[in-house]
Amino acid sequence: MSPPVLGIEAKVSILITSSGNWDVKCLKHHLCNEYVDSILKIPTGSNRTADTMLWHYEGNGRYTVKSGYWLGYKLMEGPRTSNVNSSSQWWIFLWNLNVPLKVKIFIWKACFDWIPTAPNLARRRVPVRDRCPMCKKEFDSTLHALWKRKQLKDIRTDWRRMLVNNRGINGNFLDFILDLYQCLNMKDMALFCVSVWRIWYCRNVKIHGQHSCEISEVGTWCKNYLIEYQTSNENGNRISSGGNQLFETWIPPNQDHYKINCCSVFDGGKG
């Protein structure tokens, strides 16, 4: 289940205690565990200053017409792909996939190259090199981090037998996923999206040296995760579609009679 989302007016200060430390309970209440782990690594700073608006498309945080124009232009242009025809249908397909919303958002960000790979962090003035933190050699593009790096060879082999239309993986991540979109059905694409999301998680866990997340277990983990998610979704829909019976108004029994209330659920498909 997704945690409750913070309001659009929410400020970072609501996630910090009066003593100046991260409010772990509050973070865990609003965010997924992987985000909480990343946030806890950020020092909160000793100086308590008032919240202020920053424009993060400029290094000094101040809005300029030039950067505003650039952003507007980029948003109108959309993500770059050589495959314009299937691009618009792909977004509809993505939002209709039977996967958790956080997975869809991750894939959407990856398609726009908005995930924090090393070059993207370097662009935001985080002091990191643009090389892949895993192999320390290749440029850390989104496609490299999520698909092309050496450690993912077995996963690529597993998927390759389904990718009949794959014209090679030399473009960006969006081009790559648009190719997959041509040859995978919804069920397989759902599994692929969860796999890529999990690969990113394992990569970050490895970089930050926390608990282990083995790449060799990604396939099985993702299949089980999807089955669990989709089954609980189906059960939820079944219960809510029978909601009138569940929430019938209670009527007291006649005098000298007892009434026992009980509730049960059964799987109609299995009898």
CB of 196 to Zn ion, least distance (A): 15
CB of 185 to Zn ion, least distance (A): 30
Q: Which residue in 165, 156, 234 sits closest to 195, CA to CA? A: 156
d(CA 23, CA 128): 27
Of 94 and 146, the one with the shorter C-beta distance to Zn ion is 146
String of DSSP letters for 15-29: GB-TTSSB-HHHHHH
CB of 131 to Zn ion, least distance (A): 8
Put residue 100 in one of left, alpha, beta given phi > 0 → left and psi -120 to 50 → alpha: beta
Of 11 and 137, the one with the shorter C-beta distance to Zn ion is 137
3-state secondary structure at position 131: strand
3-state secondary structure at position 140: coil
Of 34 and 138, the one with the shorter C-beta distance to Zn ion is 138
CB of 147 to Zn ion, least distance (A): 11
Q: Which residues bind Zn ion (CB under 5 A)?
A: 132, 134-135, 138, 149
CB of 137 to Zn ion, least distance (A): 6
Sorted by sequence, the CB contacts under 8 Å of residue 251 that are 6+ apart come out as none
Of 95 and 139, the one with the shorter C-beta distance to Zn ion is 139
| Phi, psi of 70, deg, nearest 5 | -60, -45
Of 90 and 147, the one with the shorter C-beta distance to Zn ion is 147
